[in-house]
Amino acid sequence: MNVCLIGNNLITLSLAKNLTNKNIKVFNYVQSNKKKSNTRTIGITRDNLQFFNEEILNIKKKMIWDIKKIDVYSEKYKKQKILNFENYKKSLFYMIKNDEIYNLLEKNLKKNFLYKKIYLKNSNLLKKVVKKNFDIVINCDQNNIISKEIFFKKITKNYNSKAFTCIINHKRINNKVASQIFTKYGPIAFLPISNSKTSIVFSVDLNKIKLNEIKVIDLINYYNFKYEIQNFSEVEVFDLSFSTLRNYFQKNILAFGDIIHKVHPLAGQGFNISLRDLQVLSKLIQKKINLGLPLDISIFQEFENNTKHLNYVFISGIDLIYEFFKFDNKIKNNISNIFFKIIDKNKNLNKFFSSYANKGLVL
């Protein structure tokens, strides 16, 4: 069996490794060897980490940092804690640097005779590639010519916001609690990656303020109340938007990863949603293998039927949370604080939201 993957990102390599584990030959076509981010981190949920370790590649324990608790604050209520999520028996999620997990996958795949990476100088060559004799073609690159010409029918929303990311080095503390502060400019997350390093993701509404790197650092210092910061890494910036594809596949090509869905980073669910998609796709492919059937595009329809409605409801829920806090910051009354206290004190509601973040939406 021969599968064509298009893309050069983390979800492409994760899918490639999963497929080669099934003894499927993977041809990975990429347009360029883009510079990997040194400041971006990802939070992997408990269930997704188990799937990754068992069916993709075992992540070394020294590479991950477990988070025991999440504290949520609001600038509106003078930075007082409004919510907290924790599981006394288990970690809530695990932090890992984006470039470290990418390098781990790439190093492993380079040694794999079932995997071949092919660089294309001209993006138009992709049109010829997808016509070759592959069992299935999966496109994981949202910026190539195929995505622009075939996968353009989307439900989209421009937040007119940018995410500023960096890593702070600080005095050593017991650093197992993540913090999220809903500020008047947008949510800022402090995500521990060691006892002396913490990842920052600051999503800034450009309608409220125009920022450069110096102003971002000033605001991070202003909202920081926990760390004795020693220095900052470089600050990287990314545009933020919401989008979901109307159709997950066209002809003989399946869209996968960020092409299917883009979501606000406030809940840290972007990569986790794609990993849940990968679990579904992996099961469908394994089912074909177990039955002795060849891979074909019938898998695409099954994949869309199993994931599309759940993904839409899930990412819409995250968008709703963002809009709620954005609206709440505009009104002067404190009614929402009563709502937060109900959630915070109700163990069943707290457990529901923790499970929702870990497993996604399951019907």
What local confidence, expressed as pLDDT, does residue 336 receive? 59
Residue 359 has pLDDT above 70, yes or no: no
On whether the CB atoms of residues 202 and 161 are closer than 8 A, the answer is no
Phi, psi of 89 (to 5 degrees): -100, -25
271 pLDDT above the threshold of 50: yes
When mean pLDDT is compared across 24-38, 103-117, 248-262, the lowest value belongs to: 24-38
pLDDT value of position 92 = 86
5 is written with which tokens? 């993957």
What are the start-end ranges of the E strands in the chain?
A: 2-6, 25-30, 41-45, 65-67, 69-74, 80-86, 93-97, 115-119, 136-139, 154-170, 177-183, 186-192, 197-205, 229-232, 236-245, 249-250, 253-255, 261-262
Does residue 164 contact residue 204 with C-beta atoms inside 8 Å?
Answer: yes
Q: In this model, does residue 234 exceed pLDDT 60?
A: yes
The pLDDT value given to residue 118: 93
Mean pLDDT across the chain: 87
pLDDT at 191: 95
pLDDT for 363: 41
Q: Which residues pair with 74 in a beta bridge?
A: 80, 182
Give the tens place of pLDDT for each residue, 311-337: 998 888 888 888 877 777 676 656 555
User: Is residue 288 within a helix (H) or strand (E), and if so which, with residue range?
Assistant: helix 270-290
Task: Summarize pLDDT for 179-212 with one digit per residue, the tens.
Answer: 999 888 989 999 999 999 999 999 998 888 888 8
pLDDT at residue 68 greater than cutoff 80: yes
User: What's the pLDDT band for 217 if we cut at 50, 70, 90?
Assistant: very high
User: Hey, what domains does the chain have and what are their CATH numbers?
Assistant: 2-157+240-359 (3.50.50.60)
**The whole model's pTM is what?**
0.89
> Which residue has 């003078």 as its token pair?
78
Token digits of residue 233: 């890494």
User: Strands 177-183 and 69-74: what pairing?
Assistant: parallel
Give phi and psi for 126, each to the nearest 5. -60, -30
Contact 70, 86 (CB under 8 A): yes
Q: Which residue has the tokens 């993904």?
A: 311
| pLDDT at residue 20, rounded to an integer | 97
